[in-house]
């Protein structure tokens, strides 16, 4: 394990009664990285994360988180990680500041409640009880509770569910800010735009195994995948899939003597790559996907 490695997982396996939930996963996350786990429902993301958090046992594999095995790590280790729980503060009658102060007591060098509230965009709400907050505000308070201890490693599980679009963007900025200060973030999300906005690298987990790991720009051969060039020819819409779209467009420009009617050039989106990796789609121009339209 390199000095810079915050999470190192090799050959991780976990089965429940119904069969393997995690079936041989390797993960390596460096300090300051934002790393996202993507995958369909039941893929094994939560099981993996709970093992990394030390809340679930494993059947096989080696796991190091902040230099320790989470299955055996103690309180000092736990104080270095932050976890954002789903709906942690649902019914609390305590004020946001009181809740944060209480949580802060578990950590050696916590933030002031005001600092944590400011970071999640709740600065005016210190005196308000969680019970009196909107769903989205409560979710942000959950995040504030997860970061109040200044964690070196932050686990975010579906963090922006229920956020309005502006709050999501503010939240993303906050996570980028934390990562910029050296906090490592392990994120699970079903939102591909969130992964694209936040993650330095992602792993797509399918059926307890990693289908692909990489940055969002190149995942699953995205950058090298063929592009689809489409245009209008008389009354007909034409398309061609090509590895050299610039040459195709230049040829079309020659042919049309300038502007190509209805020209579009499409490369696979992260969503298309993801759907293809989980076996839900074809015709994306990705390696192995059948061509939609013959050249
Ligand atoms: N405590 C448990 N007992 C038995 N089976 C479980 C338990 N927890 C999870 N599983 C099973 O393990 C598999 C992986 O579940 P897991 O919760 O890790 O997936 P996930 O990727 O987090 O899914 P989601 O996106 O729905 O949260 C699923 O088939 C699930 O039914």
99 and 202 part of one domain: yes
Q: Are residues 242 and 202 in the same domain?
A: no
Q: 212-257 pLDDT, tens per residue?
A: 999 998 887 777 778 999 999 999 999 999 989 999 999 999 999 9
Q: Look at the chain and report how many structural domains it folds into.
A: 2
Give pLDDT, residue 158.
Answer: 87
Q: What is the ipTM of this complex?
A: 0.97
22 alpha carbon – ligand 1 mean position (Å): 9
Q: For residue 36, what are the β-bridge partners?
A: 187, 202
Tens of pLDDT, residues 134-189:
888 888 898 899 999 999 999 999 888 878 888 889 889 989 988 998 999 999 99
Question: Are residue 36 and residue 156 in the same domain, yes or no?
Answer: yes
Taking residues 49-76, what's their average pLDDT?
96
Q: Evaluate if residue 7 carries a pLDDT over 90.
A: yes
Pick from 175, 190, 220: which residue ends a domain? 220
Using pLDDT thresholds of 50, 70 and 90, give the confidence band for residue 80: very high
Q: Which helix (H) or strand (E) holds 144?
A: helix 135-147
Does residue 290 carry a pLDDT above 50?
no
CA angle 232-234-236, nearest 5°? 60
**Using an 8 Å Cβ cutoff, are 106 and 146 in contact?**
no
Ligand 1 lined by 43 (C-beta under 6 Å): yes
Do residue 246 and residue 214 come from a single domain? no
Structure tokens at 128: 């308000």
Asked if residue 213 and residue 80 are part of one domain, the reply reads yes
- Answer whether residue 118 shows pLDDT above 80: yes
Asked if residue 273 is part of any domain, the answer here is: yes
Ligand 1 touching residue 38 (CB < 6 A): no
| Residue 239, in any domain of the structure | yes
* In-domain check, residue 10: no
Q: Which tokens sit at 287?
A: 């390696």
- Residue nearest atom 5 in ligand 1 by C-alpha distance: 16
Q: Are residues 116 and 230 in the same domain?
A: no
Answer yes or no: is 118 within a domain.
Answer: yes
80 in a domain, yes or no?
yes
Q: Which domain holds residue 167?
A: 30-42+75-220
CA distance linking residue 45 with residue 26, whole number of Å:
13
Domain boundary among 166, 195, 220: 220
Boundary-marking domain end, from 220, 248, 266: 220
Residue 229 and residue 201 share a domain: no
- Supply the pTM of this predicted model: 0.85
Q: Which of 14, 43, 210 to mutate to test the pocket of ligand 1 (most atoms within 8 A of CB)?
A: 43
Nearest-CA residue for ligand 1 atom 27 is 41
- Whether residues 108 and 175 share a domain: the answer is yes
Contact 143, 160 (CB under 8 A): no
Residues 163 and 263 grouped into a single domain = no
Strand blocks (E) in the chain: 5-16, 19-30, 34-38, 60-65, 81-84, 153-157, 184-188, 201-206, 209-214, 227-233, 236-242, 264-266
| Atom of ligand 1 at shortest range from CA of 17 | 4
Note whether residue 58 is domain-resident. no
Say what the pLDDT of residue 291 is. 40
Residue 17 domain-assigned (yes or no):
no
| CA nearest ligand 1 atom 16, residue | 44
Average pLDDT over residues 40-56: 95
What share of the chain has pLDDT > 90, as a percent? Answer: 65
In a shared domain, residues 258 and 126: no
Same domain assignment for residues 126 and 198: yes
Residues 254 and 190 in one domain: no
Atom of ligand 1 nearest to the CA of 47: 18
For residue 169, the CA-to-ligand 1 centroid distance in Å is 29
């Amino acid at each position: 394990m390199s000095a810079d490695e915050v999470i190192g997982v090799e050959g991780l396996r976990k089965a429940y009664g119904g069969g393997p939930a995690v079936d041989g996963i390797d993960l390596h996350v460096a300090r300051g990285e934002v790393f996202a786990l993507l995958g369909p429902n039941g893929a094994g993301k939560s099981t993996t994360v709970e093992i990394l958090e030390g809340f679930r046992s494993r059947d096989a594999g080696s796991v190091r988180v902040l230099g320790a095995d989470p299955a055996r790590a103690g309180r000092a280790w736990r104080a270095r990680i932050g976890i954002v729980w789903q709906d942690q503060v649902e019914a609390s009658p305590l004020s946001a500041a009181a809740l944060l102060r209480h949580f802060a007591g578990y950590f050696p060098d916590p933030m002031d409640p005001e600092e944590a509230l400011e970071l999640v965009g709740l600065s005016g709400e210190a005196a308000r009880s969680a019970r009196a907050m909107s769903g989205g505000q409560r979710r942000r308070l959950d995040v504030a509770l997860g970061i109040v201890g200044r964690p070196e490693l932050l686990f975010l599980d579906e963090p922006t569910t229920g956020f309005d679009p502006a709050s999501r963007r503010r939240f993303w900025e906050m996570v980028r800010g934390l990562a910029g200060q050296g906090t490592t973030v392990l994120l699970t999300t079903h939102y591909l735009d969130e992964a694209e906005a936040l993650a330095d690298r992602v792993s797509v987990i399918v059926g307890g195994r990693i289908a692909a790991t990489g940055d969002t720009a190149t995942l699953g051969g995205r950058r090298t995948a063929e592009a689809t060039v489409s245009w209008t020819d008389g009354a007909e819409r034409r398309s061609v899939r090509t590895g050299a779209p610039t040459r195709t467009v230049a040829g079309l420009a020659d042919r049309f003597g300038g502007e190509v009617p209805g020209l579009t050039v499409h490369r696979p989106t992260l969503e298309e790559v993801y759907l293809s990796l989980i076996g839900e789609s074809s015709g994306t121009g990705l390696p192995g996907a059948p061509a939609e339209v013959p050249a």
